[in-house]
Chains A and B, each alone.
Chain A
């Protein structure tokens, strides 16, 4: 069983389109995350969310919005896609986002290419 699954794995789309990436975790974790990994391999946190609060990285454009229908799901919706949005997007989860030994389990990644 896949612990953190995200779909689609690959997404190619045109500038200006709206797209979503779905993420589900079956680990019973309380906190979920979205990360962006660009061509230089930096992992940048976009959002973290548990059933109490949503923490947004202030550098993330408001074209990006997380949607969480329940504790096991955190989807990423992107409006008006731009060329610079091309990257690999990783979903992750952890038991507790507010403790030190906060080990993240990552999904396999979704490679987004904007043409």
Chain B
């Protein structure tokens, strides 16, 4: 079966750095996405990786290793507004998105 694993919850301190990991097992691979979802709101797109390596976008970076079935989202200079759930999703060979359950990130002052 197809599977996306990510930690259920993480806690970090304002101003610090946090890394949210995602491992996947899917039928084929056409890219990996990270979305942010604040409580009670819609998911919003953060990043897309299809080749190995690091993609940097401001305070957020996303890394992919296809051989290891692994990605991480790196958040720097954490702000209170970064408290949210972070969803990892993989597009399989049929261009279907397989979603993880999300990682709830709690930022403390």
Contacts and interface: CB of A to CB of B under 8 A. Distances in A.
Contact of A45 (B30, B43, B48, B96): B96
B87 A102 contact: no
B95 A106 contact: no
Interface string B26-58: 000011010100001111110010100000000
Contacts of B35: 104
A42 B101 contact: yes
Interface residues of B, number: 22
B48 A103 contact: yes
A14 B42 CA distance: 26
Interface string A86-106: 000010000001111111111
Given A108-B41, A108-B42, A100 B50 contact: yes
A101 B48 CA distance: 7
A66 interface: no
15 contacts: A41-B101, A42-B101, A43-B87, A90-B43, A100-B30, A100-B31, A100-B50, A100-B91, A100-B95, A101-B31, A103-B45, A103-B48, A104-B97, A106-B44, A107-B42
Interface of B: 30-31, 33, 35, 40-45, 48, 50, 85, 87, 89, 91, 95-97, 99, 101-102
